[in-house]
Amino acid sequence: MKLAQSYRMRLRRKRAQVRAFRKHFALRPVADRTRRIRPGEILLFSTFRDEYIRLPYFLKYYRELGVSHFLMVDNDSSDGGRGFLAEQEDVSLWTTKASYKGARFGVDWLNWLQRKYAHGHWTLVVDPDELFVYPFCDTRSIRALTDWLDVSQVRSFGAMLLDMYPKGRIDAVPYQMGQDPLEIAAWFDPGNYTIEKNHLYGNLWIQGGPRARVFFPDNPRRAPALNKIPLVKWNKRYTYVSSTHALLPRGLNLTYDEWGGEKASGVLLHAKFLDTFTRKAEEELQRRQHYAGSVEYRAYAENLRNEPELWCKWSEKYINWRQLEILGLMSKGNWA
Amino acid sequence: MSVGIIMLVHTAFGRAEQVARHWSAAGCPLVIHADKNVPAKTYDAFVRALSDLPDIRFCERHRCEWGTWGLVAATQSAAQMMLDEFPQVRHVYLASGSCLPLRPVQELIDYLAARPQTDFIESATTAEVPWTIGGLDQERFTLRFPFSWRKQRFLFDKYVQLQRAVGFKRRIPNGIVPHMGSQWWCLTRATLSAILEDPDREVYDRYFRRVWIPDESYFQTLVRLYSQQIESRSLTLSKFDYQGKPHIFYDDHLQLLRRSDCFVARKIWPFADRLYRAFLTEQGEAMKRTEPNPGKIDRIFAKAVERRTRGRPGLYMQSRFPVEGRENGLTSAQYSVFEGFSELFENFEDWLARTTETRVHGHLFAPERAEFAGGQPVINGALSDSAALRDYNPRAFLANLIWNTRGERQCFQFGPRDNQAIEWDIAKDPNAQISVITGAWAVPLFKSTKDFIEIRREAARLQQIESQHLNVLRSQWAKARIRIWSLADFTEAPMEPLQTIIDEIGHQERRGLAQVPRMVDLTGFGQFLQALKNQGMHPYLMGDFPVSTGGIGQPSTAPPKPYLVR
């Protein structure tokens, strides 16, 4: 039985690799600077569509954390973001007009690029609206973290998605290019998350936060998954199976301790709920390129039309990683 | 007389060079051993880079793998060279490439000069220290370990099992007593040369070659044969985590390291620029002459290990999700569950909140919504009162509530109308204090003006649910502090149980209860129960109420008297 399941997982992994191979034909290189990648460098992979306004801060944030090279896939943007990225010396850029949904929400494209360029590197897979926070990130670079993970013989590092939102209407303060989005979306839900274990892949399935509280109070099962494993010491045999929520082989999903202790973990601050969101939600509703028929966006659009406020009396204002650690949203584990 | 430094290097040669120059600048002769696995190109560049220093030697290279003999062999070669080539050396200090001197080297030299006979080496018998990882303490000296623990784990484990199965035991030569300790030591010339020139060295070497992790036991054991005076501690600050790998120091440890007054620390992250700059260039502090004091660093690392192994009780999060039985506390703090009290007393929740100064919620698991204290729609942690959200994962709901309100005791009402999915979790939780008045759910029905047929149906349903619930509370797995009274027993003498519960919650002056909650008027309750019986539905959970009067405790003629219990 166990053997059969292992074999099934192997098949799934192979299938994901074949998919990645098939889908990569849709990728057209715009600026390929991958020859500049040196051994041991930390790489970042991301796909985006019409996110030009966020890109300058995104690059700045991750450069400061110590990311050496960005490998980005542009999904048919029309806002000039592509041109901007093509000029950056540490960015390699591909573009495609193919369906985001057809590439399993971009996973296939990135799986391909990771297989090709990331073997042996620590890789970070994040969206342009996700800011990675880990223990001691204010004083230690990502390299310190990955060196420590290497010494500890850990291959993957979990960072749950934490939805950030502004106080008041989410479209009240317009976001300016280059600005830290957390200046506007500074608030989060500190303690309403639910966790279940996914016995198939062994990862945890986390839901909750403002989206469950405001958009799905009557149908929590449909609330989006918040568990993510964005930082992995990549090997070309690895593959993401469903966004960055789960990986194969399954051992990579064990980023949590089951015997009472705490492993180290981080948080992806999800600065999605800015003024840009309302427009995006309407647009995505038309495109239907998101998970489960964009049910998420349908719920958002309905709610936001009436009352675009996620903030509540018990929302917490973001200060730093130590605050998240004390609240129990992330952990230092035994890193000191 | 001076101090000689042995440096074992296998990586981060740039940093090793910096540190070597630092030692050398203070007049310390150096012998450097580089791992044989290091490529020739890197090694040659390293040797060339240091060629301008006086009194520096590179010894014969051995292949060093963690936990194997190579590290001891390397140390032996380097020590021999040190003793042979630098006759002025009185103390030999063993360091690594990732060690960093924290105090001016002159202070170390003076410190050692003041203690010319003393060997600084951590050395303890295995029986008396709990340091070992993986359960091999005495056995590491009595079994053979030809396989690498890191690279050949399977063979390592199988070979250990095999030896245990056949009862194999090595003889420890010459009756030496195995000792263990930190591999970073500082020995006197006399002791070191006695160890290296021992006529039986061949015997010891052959023995230790197959001991597991000999670098933590070879010198630590043999030093006991020759030393004049042992200080069983290492002058190198080096902390190990629960897997036996060293903690690493970063830039943000600067102040901590400064205040530790230790001579040398290990291991330093090679990119910790601020640490290297601070300790290698900014010299010339006033002579402190203080003893090393790593207490604070010890505490921080001990805490980190505890966080990793025990975690925070009652916290469920992305990197702590214990399997059943390993939670080390289902919730993070004590809380109280009241069943039937708010049905029997009109103002129970207000009264309880006033008396105990705790947060008192209504029925948190009510079918309509979670009745948070004060009727709030959202509470600490942005926990919503939506019944659907709560019932999606009731256990997480409760754990979240208790975690979010750490520092303030929570009380809530529970009853057979509520979602029962949580019952096992609270019954098994040692943090829960559960007080039950069985059958009290009948009181609201008794007061209800609904159709009697409907009341009868509802009574039958609630009785069945509560009866099941009581089985849970009385099961052998229940770990909560549980008290159960029937409605009849409770109404007869209500103050005594109330006092007990309140005392257990722990807050309030020991003067007894100043105020009492107001009990619902139970006149006619006996007849109500009889009417149910007449309809064929036998209510038994509330105990015996006589038909003629109301409740036993409440004569139907006079209003209830106030009562006080000491």
| Interchain pair A265, B317: CB under 8 A | yes
Chain A residues with beta carbon closer than 8 angstroms to that of B378: 213, 312-314
B83-92, B380-389, B543-552, B553-562: lowest mean pLDDT where? Answer: B553-562
The arithmetic mean of pLDDT across residues B67-71, rounded, is 86
In a domain, A333, yes or no: no
Q: What is the pLDDT of residue B289?
A: 62
Above pLDDT 90, what percent of chain A? 66
Residue B556 has pLDDT above 50, yes or no: no
End-to-end alpha carbon distance in chain B: 80
How close is the nearest chain A Cα to the Cα of B369, in Å? 11
A152 is a domain residue: yes
> Which B positions 364-403 lie with beta carbon below 8 A of chain A?
376, 378-384, 386, 388-389, 392-393, 396-397, 400, 403
Cβ <8 Å between A144 and B271: yes
Which residue in the set A139, A210, A264 is minimally distant from B319, CB to CB? A264
pLDDT > 70 fraction of chain B, expressed in percent and rounded = 92
**What average pLDDT does the segment A255-270 reach?**
94
**pLDDT at position B66, please?**
79
Residue B77 has pLDDT above 50, yes or no: yes
Report chain B residues whose CB lies below 8 A from the CB of A187: none
- Judging contacts by C-beta atoms under 8 Å, the chain B residues touching residue A137 are none
pLDDT, tens only, A46-57: 999 999 999 999
Structure confidence at residue B553 as a pLDDT band (50, 70, 90): very low
**How close A181 gets to chain B, by Cα (Å)?**
22
Pairing, β A231-233 against β A122-125: antiparallel
Which residues from chain A sit within 8 angstroms of residue B312, using beta carbons? 262, 328
pLDDT digits (tens, 9 = 90+) for A12-31: 899 889 988 888 888 899 99
Of B16, B17, B66, give the one whose Cα is nearest residue B37.
Answer: B66
pLDDT band at A39; cut points 50, 70, 90: very high
pLDDT in tens, B390-424: 999 999 999 999 999 999 999 999 999 999 999 99
**Chain B residues 185-244 with CB within 8 Å of chain A:** 241-243
Name the one residue in this structure whose structure tokens are 């919504």: B369
Per-residue model confidence (pLDDT) at position B565? 46
**Domains of chain B listed by start with CATH number:** 2-127+175-309 (3.90.550), 335-534 (3.40.50)
Contact with chain A for residue B127, Cβ under 8 A: no
| Mean of the per-residue pLDDT values of chain B | 87
* Cβ under 8 Å to B: A residues 103-142: 136, 139-141
A214: amino acid identity, one letter: V
Question: What distance in Å separates the CA atoms of residue A105 and residue A292, rounded to the nearest whole number?
Answer: 11
For residue A217, the chain B residues in CB contact (below 8 A) are: 384, 386, 388-389
pLDDT band at A102 (very low <50, low <70, confident <90, very high): confident
> Is pLDDT above 90 for B432?
yes
Domain assignment of residue A165, yes or no:
yes
Residue of B317, B324, B331 best to disrupt the A interface, most CBs of A under 10 A: B317
> What is the three-state SS of B355-382?
HHCCEEEEECCCCCECCCHHHCCEEHHH
* Confidence (pLDDT) at B559: 46
The tokens 């989206």 sit on which residue? A211
Q: Is B309 at the interface with chain A, CB within 8 A?
A: yes
- Residues 275-304, chain A: which have Cβ within 8 Å of B? none
Partner B contacted by A177 (CB < 8 A): no
Confidence check: pLDDT of B345 > 80: yes
- Asked if A282 and A300 count as a contact pair (C-beta separation under 8 A), the reply is no
- The residues, any chain, with a CB within 8 Å of residue B236's CB and separated by 6 or more, are B95, B99, B182, B184, B262, B263, B264, B265, B266
Q: What is the pLDDT of residue B546?
A: 80
Which residues of chain B lie closer than 8 angstroms to A335, CB-CB? 304
User: Residues of B with CB below 8 A from A147's CB?
Assistant: 248, 269
Beta strand segments in chain A, E:
28-31, 43-48, 69-75, 91-96, 122-125, 130-133, 156-157, 159-163, 187-188, 193-197, 204-208, 231-233, 239-242, 246-248, 266-270, 316-317
pLDDT of residue B550: 45
Greater confidence (A288 vs A235) lies with A235
Please compute the mean of the pLDDT values over residues B129-157 and round it to a whole number.
75
B127 three-class SS: helix
Is residue B415 within 8 A of residue B340, CB to CB? The reply is yes
How distant is the Cα of A25 from the closest Cα of chain B, in angstroms?
36
Say how many Å lie between the first and final Cα of chain A, rounded: 41
Which residues are registered as beta bridge partners of A133?
Answer: A267
Of B245, B321, B382, the CB nearest to A190: B382
Q: Do the Cβ atoms of A210 and B242 come within 8 Å?
A: no
What's the pLDDT tens digit per position in A165-177? 999 888 888 999 9
For B282-340, write each residue's pLDDT tens digit: 665 555 567 788 888 889 988 999 999 999 999 999 999 998 888 877 899 999 999 99
Instruction: Using only the alpha carbons of chain B, give its radius of gyration.
Output: 36
Q: What is the mean pLDDT of residues A295-313?
A: 75
Tokens, residue A305: 């039309």
pLDDT at residue A169, rounded to an integer? 85
pLDDT at B554: 46
Rounded Cα distance, A244 and A228, in Å: 5
CA separation for the pair B24, B27 (Å, rounded): 5
The answer to whether residue A336 sits within a structural domain is no
Q: Which residue has the higher pLDDT, B342 or B238?
A: B342
Closest by Cβ to A333, choosing from B307, B316, B383: B307
The angle subtended at Cα A202 by Cα A272 and Cα A7, nearest 5°, is 125
Asked whether residue A332 is assigned to any structural domain, the reply reads no
pLDDT in tens, B180-190: 888 899 999 99
Identify the pLDDT of residue B134. Answer: 55
- Which of B242, B251, B303 comes nearest A139 by C-beta? B251
Identify the bridge partners of residue B57 per DSSP, sorted by sequence position. B31
Worst-scoring range by mean pLDDT, A278-287, B169-178, B469-478? A278-287
Instruction: Report if residue A331 sits inside a domain.
Output: no
Q: Is position A334 within any domain?
A: no
Residue in B125, B254, B117, B132 with CA at minimum distance from that of residue B189: B117
Q: How confident is the model at residue B169 (pLDDT cuts 50, 70, 90)?
A: confident
Q: Which of B55-59, B127-131, B215-219 has the lowest mean pLDDT?
A: B127-131
SS3 A117: helix
In residues, how long is chain B? 566
- Number of domains chain A contains: 1
Chain segment A161-218, per-residue pLDDT in tens:
999 999 988 888 899 999 999 999 999 999 999 999 999 899 999 999 999 998 888 8
> In the prediction, which pLDDT does B283 show?
60
- Is residue A48 in a domain? yes
What interface predicted TM-score (ipTM) does this complex get?
0.92
CA distance B248 to chain A (A): 8
Chain A residues within an 8 Å CB radius of B304: 332-336
Contact A329 B317 (CB under 8 A): yes
- Return the higher-pLDDT residue of A243 and A88: A88
Contact A218 B388 (CB under 8 A): yes
Partner residue facing A260 (CB), from B247, B310, B396: B310
Domain that holds residue A177: 2-326
